[in-house]
């Protein structure tokens, strides 16, 4: 396991749902922007499985975590001589128009997403979602 690879303990931080005053988990809406072609694949998966967009995204990230770590570890380094060294962001599939994908997750799930964005060098929630969903929905089930 490398220094930049999140541990299971790290990923499980905050997995107990934050509870509001009425003892119900706090669910927050958000939007990620993914290639338009993925939106229809997510809709088909939602129809097939009965899961929400957020549940599909969580499953995609968990199922593809090893692949996402591999992409991060194989990323090229930029700079290091004249400029501060940094890792290049993992390569996205062919550029396509983006569409919004509405998700609803537990409040602390967004903290995990943001930690993964940082740990995996994805750059944004949308980029992480695109990488994970592409791998997940293009994989044979």
| pLDDT, position 3 | 44
Q: Return the pLDDT at 50.
A: 97
Location of structure tokens 């199922």 = 63
What pLDDT score was predicted for residue 106?
96
Q: For residue 132, give every residue at least 6 positions away whose Cβ sits within 8 Å of its Cβ, in sequence order, or none.
A: 57, 60, 61, 64, 68
Q: pLDDT (tens digit, 0 to 9) for every residue of the chain, 141 residues total?
A: 444 445 555 445 555 555 555 667 899 999 999 999 999 999 999 999 999 999 999 999 999 999 998 887 777 667 777 888 776 666 666 678 999 999 999 999 999 999 999 998 888 999 999 999 999 998 654
Q: Which two tokens stand for residue 68?
A: 């996402």
Residue owning tokens 């700079």:
79
pLDDT at 25: 81
41 class by beta-carbon count within 10 Å (0-12 exposed, 13-18 middle, 19+ buried): middle
pLDDT for position 4: 45
CA dihedral 85→111→12→131, nearest 10 degrees, is -60
In the chain, which residue ranges form alpha helices assigned H by DSSP?
8-12, 36-49, 53-63, 65-73, 107-119, 125-138
What's the pTM?
0.74
CB-CB contact of 59 with 121 (8 Å): no
pLDDT score recorded for residue 15: 52
The answer to whether the CB of 30 falls within 8 A of the CB of 111 is no
* φ, ψ (nearest 5 deg) of residue 103: -130, 155
- 14 Rama class: left (phi>0) / alpha (psi -120 to 50) / beta: left
């Amino acid at each position: 396991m490398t220094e930049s690879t999140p541990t299971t303990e790290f990923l499980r931080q905050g997995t107990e749902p934050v509870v509001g005053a009425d003892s119900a988990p706090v669910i927050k809406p958000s939007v990620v922007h993914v290639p338009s072609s993925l939106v229809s694949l997510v809709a088909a998966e939602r129809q097939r499985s009965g899961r929400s967009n957020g549940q599909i995204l969580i499953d995609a990230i968990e199922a593809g975590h090893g692949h996402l770590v591999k992409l991060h570890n194989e990323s090229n380094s930029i700079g290091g001589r004249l400029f501060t060294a940094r890792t290049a962001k993992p390569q996205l599939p062919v550029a396509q128009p983006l569409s919004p994908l509405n998700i609803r997750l537990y409040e602390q799930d967004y903290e995990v997403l943001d930690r993964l964005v940082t740990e995996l060098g994805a750059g944004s929630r949308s980029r992480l979602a695109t990488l994970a969903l592409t791998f997940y929905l293009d994989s044979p089930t």
